[in-house]
Structure 1
Amino acid sequence: MYRFSNTVIGFLNLFTLLASIPIIGGGLWMARSSTTCESFLQTPLLVVGFVVLIISLAGFIGACFNVAWALWVYLVVMLFLIGTLLALTLFGFVVTSHGSGVEVPGRAYREYHLENYSPWLRKRIKDPHYWMTIRSCILGSKTCGQILLWTPLDYLTKDMSPIQSGCCKPPTSCNYGASMMAQDADCYRWNNAPDVLCYECDSCKAGVLEDVRRDWHKLSVLNIVMIIVLIGIYSIGCCAFQNTKRAETDYPYGENRMSKVRPRWDFYW
């Protein structure tokens, strides 16, 4: 089993080293794109790609060429990565524990209210610069164009995504025939112009947060799997580091380190 851990770490990091190349390429390609959504995602992609590239290169060199300091850097960064993923996962569960859709009587879709979500998410989504970025993404995706041809029967029987429910139509409770009746503020923000609709409504922001909440839950589950895998790789990396340290001392594991002592038989003669 000697140096088996080094071989495993070498192959694992060669695989992740090759996998980081398309991640970085995708981030650079998005940087050249003019669409707001893609440029909004390019920074996380580039950061993740370069971190994976550096840590994989250090682990590959350290395991395959017995470079102890490279493996030490690899283990330190790996420990930091595990801690960061764990913190992000716990934070994600906390901020997305609130919020969900409200059933609308007689309709298949749900509606979403901004006050049902965590204060941190509400503060983030209300930032004007951030919301303009998200609004441009929704306009560019043409999400609302999919329901423009719906009939009244379709609105009764078909389901909608959270963004469609919040951004593409006014709240179901709105009654535009009764002008003197107090209504939801989103009813007055609605406009049937294709570039206006309900994009400035609180219900639209709530629909975006519902999408974020669902995606964050999926990402948190993936993070838990990644943490378990990284802990396993980290354990193998610790064994590889010990093997490399032993190799540097020129005394492989199992070899007798005591030099032979020649008996002085001539002392008695």
Structure 2
Amino acid sequence: MSRVSNTLIGFLNLLTLLASIPIIAGGLWMTKSTTTCESFLQRPLMVVGFVILLVSLAGFIGACYHVAWALWVYLVVMLFLIATLLAVTIFGFVVVGPGGGVDVPGRAYKEYHFQNYSPWLRKRIENPNYWMSVKSCILGSKTCSKIVMWTPNDYLTGNLSPIQSGCCKPPSACNYQAPTVTQDPDCYKWNNDPNLLCYECDSCKAGVLEDVRRHWHRLSILNIVMVMLLIGIYFVGCCAFQNAKRADSYHPYGESRMYKTRPKWNFYR
């Protein structure tokens, strides 16, 4: 049993080391891609990938070669990583909890209202510099061009993504034939110009936040699974650390039980 935990922790860390490579590659791809507009998800993804790579490397070396100090570093960083993932998960559920779409009578899609989202998300998306980069990303992804040829019947039966619903059309309640002062302010921000549309509307910002909210929910569920897995690996790592310490000690099989300094070997004298 003394070797089982070392072999198991070495194998698990080899798998996580290999798994960190596509995570880092995915973060780099998201940085260069024009189809992913949630830029704040890119940097944490790359950081997590590099942390997993370094932690897995330390755990693999420590378990396979009985390097006690490498396993000690591995366990400390693992504990920090577990605590960080727990904090991020709780933060994610608190921040992205509010929101969601509102059904539109007679339509298959939903619409989204900016005031329904958390103040932290609203404050971030209202930053002019950040919103300019998000808007440029949406234009580059050609999200609205995918529905430019839709007929009125398509709008009745077709589904729209949150960004398409908020950025590519005016709110369904707008009445341009008989406008009133009580209309949604977004009705006056709408423009038929393909480069303008409703990109300055609060509904567009709400659509982006809804897209972020859905991504965060998936990440939070994944974080819960990862935390449970890391806790299991952490306990196996503790056993491997004890084995490495025992291998480095002068008494690899435990302390000697001899208590007398001058034992009597001949019991018949």
The normalised TM-score by structure 2 is 0.90
Shift of 1:188: 1.0
Give the direction of change, closer, same or farther, for the CA distance of 1:46–1:180 in structure 2 (3 Å limit).
closer
Residue in structure 1 matched with residue 236 of structure 2 by the alignment: 236
Aligned partner of 2:256: which letter?
R
Give the direction of change, closer, same or farther, for the CA distance of 1:98–1:266 in structure 2 (3 Å limit).
closer
2:174 is the alignment partner of 1:174: yes
Cα separation, 1, equivalents of 2:123 and 2:241: 45
Gaps of 5+ in 1: none
Shift of 1:21: 2.7
Q: Give runs of aligned pairs for residues 117-196 of structure 1, distance below 5 A.
A: 117-179=117-179, 181-196=181-196
Residue in structure 2 matched with residue 257 of structure 1 by the alignment: 256
The normalised TM-score by structure 1 is 0.90
Give the direction of change, closer, same or farther, for the CA distance of 1:210–1:28 in structure 2 (3 Å limit).
closer
- RMSD across aligned positions (CA): 2.4
Shift of 1:91: 0.8
Shift of 1:24: 3.1
2:227 is the alignment partner of 1:227: yes
SS of equivalent residue, structure 1 residue 81: helix
Query: Which deviations, in whole Å up to 9, do the C-alpha atoms of 1:213-266 show, x marking residues without a partner?
Result: 12211211111111100000000001111111111113234x562359652649
Aligned partner of 2:137: which letter?
C
Residue in structure 1 matched with residue 56 of structure 2 by the alignment: 56
Q: Residue 114 of structure 2 contacts residue 122 of structure 2 at CA under 8 Å; is this kept in 1?
A: yes
SS of equivalent residue, structure 1 residue 15: helix
Q: Residue 30 of structure 2 contacts residue 36 of structure 2 at CA under 8 Å; is this kept in 1?
A: no
SS of equivalent residue, structure 1 residue 214: helix
- Which deviates the most, 239-248 or 178-187? 178-187
Gaps of 5+ in 2: none
Residue in structure 2 matched with residue 81 of structure 1 by the alignment: 81
Give the direction of change, closer, same or farther, for the CA distance of 1:26–1:99 in structure 2 (3 Å limit).
closer
Q: Residue 66 of structure 1 contacts residue 247 of structure 1 at CA under 8 Å; is this kept in 2?
A: yes
Q: Residue 35 of structure 2 contacts residue 138 of structure 2 at CA under 8 Å; is this kept in 1?
A: no
Aligned length: 266
